[in-house]
With several copies, the nearest count.
Chain A
Amino acid sequence: MKFKTIESRDGQPNATSSRSTRFLGLCLALGVPILVLFAFVFSPKDDTMDDAVRLLYVHVPVAIFSYIAFGVTAMGSIFYLWKQSRWWDTTAHASAEIGVIFCGLTLVTGSIWGRPTWNTWWEWGDVRLVTTLVMFLMFIGYLALRQVPATPHVRAKRAAIVGIVGTINIPIVNRSVEWWENSTLHQQSSLTDGNLEDLTLFTWFLGTLIFALAYVWLMIHRFRVGWLSSEHDALGYGAAIEERKAEAGIDTEAQAQASEDGGPQ
């Protein structure tokens, strides 16, 4: 497979960007200041949470996109087991890495948010917090597994199973606040209740859009890095074969001699 990437003169890609990803990046670069503007200036304070509500515009989108990222990992894993194609494996890996970053951001922004609102950084008894952390750790394990030396296929297969099992967590994290109403401080789904003000709602949507862009942009780049690095691994293949074949050089002559003599009896 070949990407439309920016190539240097010798035909090797010297970046993972292409014209379209640069456009995407540009949108992102413009979008972030707009989001900041809306989040900090235009949108109103909350009655109960005061200025802290502004974390909503980061916290919730990154949480949602960590779900999506892990979902993509699971999908990539399933397709890998089915088609055994490197494309799906690379997708799964790339998405898991981004998912871990987003999930980490969810935890961090949540903690920061928790400090003023709940008066604590962390609450062990809270199911959503802990299930989120478990999901985070599970995919850390996934990434650890990907570092283990093994043949690419074996590693991909093992990682695929772990990736699939990991997504069992998504519904648990998502539903946790309803299943365990009395063991959480965490917000129930406030969006579906429709009690957000217009501008807040708009800013929230804007935030989601920006993080969607961020996910796609990161994903494309990370995928390309993964793809190129596996290609790089294969780069020396021809040379390695030749070198290995050459090991036989000296012996071949000796054996040819032996065969003239009638071979070992």
Chain B
Amino acid sequence: MNDVIDLQEAVVTLGQFPALTGVTLKVSQGEIVTVCGPNGAGKSTLLRLCAGLLPLREGSAHILGEDLQKNRRIIRQDVGLLGHRSGLYDDLTVEENVAFWGQMVRAESNEINEAIKLLGLDGRLRKVLVRQLSAGQRRRTSLAGLVVQRPLLWLLDEPHAALDSDGRDLVDGLIHEAAASGATIVLASHAPKDISSPSGRFVTLAGGRVTNDINNDGSGDGVS
């Protein structure tokens, strides 16, 4: 089995605070995993750890086969992260932003165009500065950048936030499509109903560790 994510008792501290207190989690290729948990449980921290953006304090973490303790940089280009903040330039238009991030991940210009269309940013919005977008449009622009990247591991922090129902369906579609084509998806969410995945797996975080890990087929292996 090909483990895309393999965390063993991973501890991450933010400042002095242990945001993750020993997370053990395995995710294999093609899986769609939803991370739930109360506010401050450590969901965002977990995703950022998997993206190699945070140093590991204890334990071990292997992402896409690479050891994060050794080198956090190496996996980064195969990982896409949609965080709470969108990583866009306020003074560039939607099109310029997607094109820039597309260029950075070596996407073709037709891919860039397609992503813009796919996320409903075509027409008027193309030439609008990102500064002037509504919350949902901003989120869509950020997603478009992710779509052109086509990473092997998608880390989505509340991907449905700020999106309307069309947008939510779109994201669900994207997730399933990506999973079908072999990518792995981990998403943080408060409302697990949002994503209706037949093969969905729900991992519950609380107090910085996994308290529950349920497969939708009922074979839960609750960890107390």
Contacts and interface: CB of A to CB of B under 8 A. Distances in A.
Contacts of B193: 264
Interface residues on A, range: 20 to 34
A256 B220 CA distance: 10
A248 interface: yes
Interface in A210-265: 233, 236-237, 240-241, 243-249, 251-252, 255-256, 258-259, 262-265
Residues of B in contact with A, size category: 20 to 34
Interface string B9-50: 001011111110110000000000000011011000000000
B71 to A, nearest CB: 12
Majority SS at the chain A contact face: helix
B207 A259 contact: no
A158 interface: no
A244 B220 contact: no
Contacts of A246: 207
A240 B211 CA distance: 18
Of the candidates B11, B21, B38, the one having the most CB atoms from chain A within 10 angstroms of its own CB is B21
A171 interface: no
Interface in B168-224: 192-193, 202, 204, 206-209, 211-212, 214, 216, 218, 220, 222, 224
A237 B18 contact: yes
Contacts of A233: 16
Contacts of A149: 15
A83 interface: no
A252 B206 contact: yes
Nearest to A252: B211
30 contacts: A149-B15, A151-B13, A240-B17, A241-B18, A244-B17, A244-B18, A244-B19, A244-B21, A245-B208, A245-B209, A247-B208, A248-B41, A248-B208, A248-B211, A251-B37, A251-B38, A251-B204, A251-B211, A252-B206, A252-B211, A255-B204, A255-B212, A256-B222, A258-B212, A259-B220, A262-B218, A263-B214, A263-B220, A264-B202, A264-B214
Interface of B: 11, 13-19, 21-22, 37-38, 40-41, 55, 124, 192-193, 202, 204, 206-209, 211-212, 214, 216, 218, 220, 222, 224
